[in-house]
Structure 1
């Protein structure tokens, strides 16, 4: 450790590993998650760390402080759950209540009972067997959600069912830890009263977060967004996320759940896409550190010492949980292919097992050797998760190919192929109105927070952000956009945006507003399919170009614009 900068050596080792691993595994077509797990295995104390005594120079390549790294790495899980919340809304979450409180609750209950009974039959006490059943019933939120995000399957049926189960599992951590505390310490008064009090406190905190958040989040973001500083805006977002996570932690809930609630609050604002774009690099790095910390925890020699029991236990856990999840998914009337993929993907153990078992060990409720063996099994199943994801997808495809009557809804839900509008001033607003009248979906983006707030209040689909950021455009779904229209009146900004969009997504037609003929020619050189000089009726001509560019017949587009021209002459116009 550097005397002035804590964990400097560990940070450098992690960044070197991340810089080497991600490009290599992507070229090999391997999930980065699996790459990070193996890097952790190599640079951890149970990898080349064992050779430090014989080769001291290896000390500079080893991260020995697993606990310290894990604490920092938890931020990756927090930001992962936050970005997942950003992609949802309260209405969408309520629409998933059948999966969350139905299928999810049934999975945790049945899995915990089945695993607990087996643990009891192997000679564990009733309390220890119950704890093992509860913690092994949980799956890995970080691994599963990251793999679903990487493969863009979060909004697929299997992704939605997996997410519903995981969300209930995160909620279940509260009563599980409460049970451990009650079992390990004498509780004054009624046990039922204590349970009601703990659950009531948790619900009160969640309610307060929603009520207060709905009042302060949008005005606060509008205020900091008005400064024009991305750094200030990002700092404000991180502050709100961590503050919400800390509040839920104080109430006995997981910090990840608090971050998810913060994401739900931000999802209802016009800033969601800009926030998702800005936070992506932090989330990716911290999640990589989390996966490395999991890899560092695997002791290969310990696995080898009891390889037979470890393999049997891993195989037994995967088969038992997979069978339970598949059966319950079918009871909840999910298609066979979705049930199979969900069951295979969710059959591993999860990171919350570390938390539960650590709490139980602190109360001396478990035999330390048995607890370490269970953690070993959990880590091995987590290592297998990327392979389970592949196996689940293949199983789902095989079932669909065999049974023609199964649901074909396996692609992510889409809202058509929208037109993305960069800039929502006079021209952008007119274009949006015309697209609305023709029932063509659009998403607009503008960097003026007051304008965005005002237009969203009138029902416009406009979000706050900088249209020149490729990451932000990616979050808006530009790869499947039918067209991109920039209506910016500042020449330099328009050229920069067009160049960025054309370089990343050359298949997306770009229509641009230009100052004059010379500017239009320059924009076409940058990649615009057409650029309309801002002369007489420039706005209407741009509208016609967009309509024809997304597939409207020329005559139909011209008729639509002529009708709009007549309305403008009669009405106020511009």
Structure 2
């Protein structure tokens, strides 16, 4: 019997998965990080390696969605107020880095008789760093929320914005470009502004109400589809007017950062982001042409050194001048010295405009890929030295890190019981984050000023996004005993160090909680009954000391009964 035809990309998917399963763990074991593993896997299976896959261009078109989703998730972690506080790093430090590094590399390129237009494109293209690469390194090391991680992110964000004027520069430098009228230019600017306004207004006023309606259906797959639609839809709107897709997704994420659905969106997007980011780096590795590398080894090696050293020196110097400690400035310098994915976009546009020759672009692309490959090695070298370097600069107090904003208590379930617990905690100045799965409760609690998000307590990714791993205490205030039991088992497995305080619905539930080893449990009906009895005795004239004796005796009897039942079960 003839075999059925395999689905499209079936064999390619197997090759991709097999290569990453082998290469990534080896790279991680060597301390180089997963990104180097993905690049090595791509180089091995690509057309210039073992030839298992014919071309990385088609893969790259799909994999670029990983960068889009990455920027969307990053945007979810930055509300507009925090973004505004980073304006000095984005528009000050970022502008200085791109401008000075680009001009320096432009001067070096003209010295090599490259031609002014070609040198300008090459210099500023190589001045850009890889947002996907650098953020992956920062996330793997857990440093994205650190002061230097936030400054590095500010620089990367400006670089993403700068791709728009750089592409416009390529169009202006093209020798065969047509002359645009002032009316055409005004029309293009108006279209861009309209697209930005559409994303802002939609994210600000429409998305949260729509998610509230979808959440009421309790259909997780619908919420997942909506999350992808928001991220990719905003990217598509920006792309349609010539802006960066990643920038559009980031803007949508920022607008949803204050939404009650933020943690669920982040958890839903994360698996797709991780897979597509891996595919992106594999596709980049596949484009490394070993024949070009061998024929021009000296030039490419010199280019890698010049680009990484030039960018590193400017990054270190500018970071120091703008207030970073010596240690942080060095870490920024070794995190962002590589070329970026937008360099590929810029160089491709330059080829289409007749500014750069195809052979020159191959050399520049090889330099970009190798700078990516050597960046983790530079980080490892610094790790051996940075611990011995004491920060001598002035710390920048204007940057609030996520670590500083992490809640000390996570409240799960925000009904009447959970709200009362939250009121007690916030009255003592403690910061809390709460999750609930009922949109009506969330809406009411937010009107009262509480930081409540939509989320499922039985999902590890949602708990992680909500800060369970960093919380000092988790208050379980759920009404459903079975849901609470699953959540407790998950928290004990994933976050064993956190303290667990639980609400018990009755004595059987209290017994179950004691068996699970929670740190504290209380029956709401038992305590309210005691309060009721205490008030009744006082109204009937019973002395206060006698009331206290009765209450102590009842508590003692109840504790003995629970311990007896627990002993019988064991």
Q: Secondary structure at the match of 1:5?
A: coil
Establish whether residue 129 from structure 1 lines up as the match of residue 134 from structure 2.
no
Q: Give the equivalent residue in structure 2 for 1:381.
A: 371
Q: Distance in 2 between matches of 1:114 and 1:538?
A: 73
Q: Secondary structure at the match of 1:537?
A: helix
Q: Residue 130 of structure 2 contacts residue 340 of structure 2 at CA under 8 Å; is this kept in 1?
A: yes
Q: Give the equivalent residue in structure 2 for 1:570.
A: none
Q: Cα gap change, 1:406/1:386 in structure 2, threshold over 3 Å: closer, same or farther? A: same
Q: Distance in 2 between matches of 1:393 and 1:206?
A: 41
Q: How many residues were matched structurally?
A: 525
Q: Give the equivalent residue in structure 2 for 1:425.
A: 415
Q: Give the equivalent residue in structure 2 for 1:74.
A: 64
Matches of residues 259-270 of structure 1 in structure 2 within 5 Å? 259-270=249-260
Establish whether residue 187 from structure 1 lines up as the match of residue 189 from structure 2.
no
Q: Cα gap change, 1:540/1:490 in structure 2, threshold over 3 Å: closer, same or farther? A: farther
CA displacement 1:143-193 (0-9 Å, x = unmatched): 001111111211212111111111111111111111112222433246x88
CA displacement 1:457-512 (0-9 Å, x = unmatched): 22111110101111111112212211112111211111100011011111111111
Q: Give the equivalent residue in structure 1 for 2:48.
A: 46
The structure 2 residue matched to 1:221, chosen from 204, 211, 226, is 211
Q: Give the equivalent residue in structure 2 for 1:13.
A: 15
Shift of residue 72, structure 1, vs aligned partner: 0.9
Q: Residue 83 of structure 1 contacts residue 263 of structure 1 at CA under 8 Å; is this kept in 2?
A: yes
Gaps of 5+ in 1: 50-61, 542-574
Q: Distance in 1 between matches of 2:125 and 2:396?
A: 35
Q: Distance in 2 between matches of 1:139 and 1:234?
A: 31
Q: Distance in 2 between matches of 1:103 and 1:143?
A: 20
The structure 2 residue matched to 1:441, chosen from 425, 431, 442, is 431
Q: Cα gap change, 1:538/1:404 in structure 2, threshold over 3 Å: closer, same or farther? A: farther
Establish whether residue 293 from structure 1 lines up as the match of residue 277 from structure 2.
no
Shift of residue 527, structure 1, vs aligned partner: 3.8
Establish whether residue 520 from structure 1 lines up as the match of residue 510 from structure 2.
yes
Q: Distance in 1 between matches of 2:508 and 2:320?
A: 63
Q: Distance in 2 between matches of 1:183 and 1:193?
A: 20
Establish whether residue 340 from structure 1 lines up as the match of residue 330 from structure 2.
yes
Matches of residues 351-366 of structure 1 in structure 2 within 5 Å? 351-366=341-356
Shift of residue 421, structure 1, vs aligned partner: 1.2
CA displacement 1:127-158 (0-9 Å, x = unmatched): 11111111111000100011111112112121
Q: Cα gap change, 1:372/1:29 in structure 2, threshold over 3 Å: closer, same or farther? A: closer
Q: Residue 326 of structure 2 contacts residue 393 of structure 2 at CA under 8 Å; is this kept in 1?
A: no
Q: Distance in 2 between matches of 1:216 and 1:253?
A: 23
Q: Distance in 2 between matches of 1:345 and 1:265?
A: 28
Shift of residue 365, structure 1, vs aligned partner: 1.4
Q: Secondary structure at the match of 2:493?
A: helix
Shift of residue 258, structure 1, vs aligned partner: 0.7
Shift of residue 250, structure 1, vs aligned partner: 1.4
Aligned-pair RMSD on alpha carbons?
A: 2.4
CA displacement 1:173-232 (0-9 Å, x = unmatched): 111111112222433246x88666655543442233212321101111111111101100
The structure 1 residue matched to 2:443, chosen from 453, 456, 461, is 453
Shift of residue 367, structure 1, vs aligned partner: 2.1
Q: Residue 227 of structure 2 contacts residue 268 of structure 2 at CA under 8 Å; is this kept in 1?
A: no
Q: Distance in 2 between matches of 1:27 and 1:225?
A: 41
Q: Residue 260 of structure 2 contacts residue 442 of structure 2 at CA under 8 Å; is this kept in 1?
A: yes
Q: Distance in 2 between matches of 1:494 and 1:241?
A: 32
Shift of residue 45, structure 1, vs aligned partner: 1.4
Q: Cα gap change, 1:389/1:539 in structure 2, threshold over 3 Å: closer, same or farther? A: farther
Shift of residue 112, structure 1, vs aligned partner: 1.3
Q: Distance in 1 between matches of 2:75 and 2:100?
A: 27
Q: Greater CA radius of gyration, 1 or 2?
A: 2
Q: Distance in 2 between matches of 1:392 and 1:500?
A: 37
Matches of residues 511-550 of structure 1 in structure 2 within 5 Å? 511-537=501-527
Shift of residue 351, structure 1, vs aligned partner: 0.8
Q: Cα gap change, 1:367/1:405 in structure 2, threshold over 3 Å: closer, same or farther? A: closer
Shift of residue 372, structure 1, vs aligned partner: 1.2
Q: Cα gap change, 1:163/1:520 in structure 2, threshold over 3 Å: closer, same or farther? A: same
Shift of residue 81, structure 1, vs aligned partner: 0.5
Q: Cα gap change, 1:504/1:212 in structure 2, threshold over 3 Å: closer, same or farther? A: closer
CA displacement 1:383-420 (0-9 Å, x = unmatched): 122223334555543432xx556649998632365111
Q: Give the equivalent residue in structure 2 for 1:492.
A: 482
Q: Secondary structure at the match of 2:387?
A: helix
Q: Distance in 1 between matches of 2:449 and 2:18?
A: 47
